Chain A
Amino acid sequence: VLAGRLSTPTPTPHPLSSRAPGPKSSVVLKIIKHYQEEGQGSEVVQGVLLGLVVDDRLEITNCFPFPQHTEDDADFDEVQYQMEMMRSLRHVNIDHLHVGWYQSTYYGSFVSRALLDSQFSYQHAIEESVVLIYDPLKTAQGSLCLKAYRLTPKLMEICKEKDFSPEGLKKANIGYEHMFEEVPIVIKNSHLMNVLMWELEEKSTMADKHELLSLSSSNHLEKSLQLLMDRVDEMSQEIVKYNSYCRNLSKQQQQKHQYLQRRQQENAQRQSRGEPPLPEEDISKMFKPPPPPPRMDTLLIAGQINNYCQNVKEFTSQNLGKLFMAQALQHPSS
């Protein structure tokens, strides 16, 4: 991708004035290339985004990839690699401000704990940072699939507190839809890049654009649905866990209640008989409440499921369009 300045305009006014990232086309190209060369199968490739903040846009002007973690590179120091890269890039006048990171994804399954943690640490350090998710399989199907995400301020707060219990989440009133906010991306090219594009257009051959219009959809759909099913399974497990916790809690409450009542009855009896009342025992030690399960994973899974559903719906709508086109081809008179 040729250098283009990807910039995103601010969507809606936000208390934290979220800025839209705008990557350059060279960034897009580099990300594509990195995945193509290094990432095969379902591994993720990652890298760092560099750029600067201009007005209310985040301009991403460069990026460099992270090497894969290999077994024989146990003492590989990521931080050192990053520092060296940035220092070298500074020599050639490339903006060396960290503004985010990018990651490739497999069928849209990127909502995970690791991503959350990384993005949180980035956003904590630099307010406007984003994570660019690049979906190579969807791109191969016909159009570039690059999305930028940031954590919502609510989620930032929760991560800061590290309070993942149900009460904490209830307080923040956060749903899985409010975890990530997507920021629209705009690609901007400088005039020089435009000239380059014209040159390339002349010299290169007509692209094979048939991928987008191919009717065979079952493979992709199958895989997506498979992943969706897995997630739903996990989700149901979490729900069962939570339900059993709730049940245990309520049972315990009942037991506590009964115990207290019995206690009172006994005390009343003893008093009537003139004996000293039994000492108040420490109720909380007897009935230790079960630990509430952390809700963060559930939230993540819900978010992931949501993402899958969105992808599947997009895919099916595209395919419906294609099917109708095929129909038109068969019945030219109708």
Chain B
Amino acid sequence: VLCSLHGLPLPSSGYSFHDIANVQIYMYTPRLYLQTMVQEQILSWYYGVWTLRGSSGNIQIFSIHSFYSTFLLLKMAVHGPFVKIHPVVLASIADSYERRNEGASRVIGTLLGTIDKHSVEVTNCFSVPHNESEDEVAVDMEFAKNMYELHKKVSPSEVIIGWYATGYDITEHSVLIHEYYSREAQNPIHLTVDTALQSNRMNIRAYASAQMGVPGKTVGVMFTPLTVKYVYYDTERIGVDLLQRTRASPTRTNGLTSDLAQVASAAGRIQEMLNTVLSYIEDVLSGKVMADNSVGRFLMDLVNKVPKISVEDFESMLNSNINDLLMVTYLANLTQAQIALNEKLVVL
């Protein structure tokens, strides 16, 4: 199928591929509307012709020239392999998916963030209204521009770095929308979040586009996948932890815990971790599991972290700290009583 290209002999070695173990290539040509999805293919030099082995059977490429240029483009993938996503973005995407218009099967929107030398960090997003039908797709560009301006007022360091869509596949319309976004940003990233939960998972993938095809004749766009990493600020991490607890409750609700309970739960967590470690040690001692030296070293570190302090010193430190805290509590209570008294006196 494929592309008829001019032949160019390519050596079988001397290439380093970008992520050969897990390359998924979606190929489209605007004329043929052909979709071939190849999973986990291994590129091999076979009888002088590159063969792609994949889920849709062997595909033989007769011309190598385009692939050569394509892989060159892959190597030069401008953003490097990493896309860092903050959970804020995913939450907003899921939220806007839930609020989509009647009849719309997917939602699209703009991604905002910052570009680093080796990676892209996605920190914000907003959804853009669009209409999609069999033949055409319409995106409200005015709206997108407006929203971007508004957002810029709050965080001037964020720029448009791409767009997102819910759903699993990349369709032809995506190509068009991607073209629009490449006018706004260099090398936009395309993020798909599978909210329809095909294959029983919510797949979150990111793609960058690359030109493909014979220059001058049939040209196509190929979406190459990028590695997705989740990045959190510290406070975000804690917020996400809290939210994760809603998974446990049946009504999916969760209240915020009070002070001492937090310490108790943190202590509980450490206890769990200790239990896991202990059971591992038991297993190793009884011979069930092979002893691992690196784990042993970590265990040594762990045990040595508890400082060896003489009993009297520790007692005195502990007591002085406890005294400080108690004194502060006493003073706080005193202050509160004082202002309460003051209230009453004024009212007299």
Contact = CB atoms under 8 A, between A and B. Distances in A.
Interface string B114-142: 00000000011011110000000000100
B345 to A, nearest CB: 9
A180 B172 CA distance: 56
Given A139-B238, A194-B246, A92 B129 contact: yes
A190 B342 CA distance: 48
B32 interface: no
Contact of B254 (A64, A187, A217, A325): A187
Interface residues of A, number: 106
B257 to A, nearest CB: 6
A197 B243 contact: yes
Contacts of B124: 33
Interface string A185-201: 11111111111111111
Nearest to B97: A192
A194 B202 CA distance: 11
Interface in B243-286: 243-244, 246-247, 251-257, 259-260, 262-264, 266-267, 269-270
Interface of B is mostly: helix
A1 B335 contact: no
A313 B329 contact: yes
Interface string B313-334: 0100010011001101100110
Interface in A94-127: 94
Interface stretch (B18-26, B35-43, B87-95, B175-183): B87-95
Interface stretch (B57-65, B69-77, B148-156, B210-218): B148-156
A140 interface: yes
Interface in B278-323: 306, 309, 311, 314, 318, 321-322
B4 interface: no
A309 B257 CA distance: 19
A1 B325 contact: no
Interface string B198-239: 000110100000000000000000000000001011111111
Contacts of B311: 330-331
B10 to A, nearest CB: 36
A225 B204 CA distance: 47
A131 interface: no
A203 to B, nearest CB: 6
A37 B88 CA distance: 13
A298 B342 CA distance: 10
A128 to B, nearest CB: 19
Contacts of A228: 332, 335
Interface in A202-227: 203-204, 207-209, 211-213, 217, 221, 225
Contact of B197 (A173, A195, A331): A195
A143 B306 contact: no
B97 to A, nearest CB: 7
Contact of B262 (A24, A212, A331): A212
Contacts of B5: none
A321 B261 CA distance: 10
A38 B154 contact: yes
B236 A2 contact: no
B77 to A, nearest CB: 21
Contact of A187 (B126, B233, B253, B314): B253
A220 B334 CA distance: 20
B202 A195 contact: yes
Contact of A313 (B150, B243, B332): B332
A81 interface: yes
A212 B311 CA distance: 26
A190 B98 contact: yes
Contact of A198 (B204, B242, B247, B342): B247
Contact of A84 (B86, B146, B230, B257): B146
A143 B240 CA distance: 10
A28 B239 contact: yes
A303 to B, nearest CB: 9
A327 interface: yes
A93 B259 contact: no
18 contacts: A1-B91, A2-B243, A33-B124, A37-B157, A38-B154, A140-B235, A176-B343, A187-B242, A187-B253, A189-B243, A192-B195, A196-B94, A200-B244, A208-B237, A217-B325, A302-B342, A322-B263, A330-B309
Interface of A: 1-4, 7, 24-26, 28-30, 32-38, 61-62, 64-67, 76, 81, 84-85, 88, 91-94, 136, 139-140, 142-146, 166, 170, 173, 175-176, 184-201, 203-204, 207-209, 211-213, 217, 221, 225, 228, 232, 235, 239, 242, 295, 298, 302, 305-306, 308-310, 312-323, 325-327, 329-331
Interface of B: 86-88, 90-92, 94-101, 123-124, 126-129, 140, 143, 146-147, 150, 153-155, 157, 195, 197, 201-202, 204, 230, 232-244, 246-247, 251-257, 259-260, 262-264, 266-267, 269-270, 306, 309, 311, 314, 318, 321-322, 325-326, 328-329, 332-333, 335-336, 339-340, 342-343, 346-347
Q: Which 9 A-B pairs have the closest CB atoms?
A: A2-B91, A26-B91, A309-B332, A314-B259, A93-B99, A1-B239, A3-B95, A316-B325, A67-B154
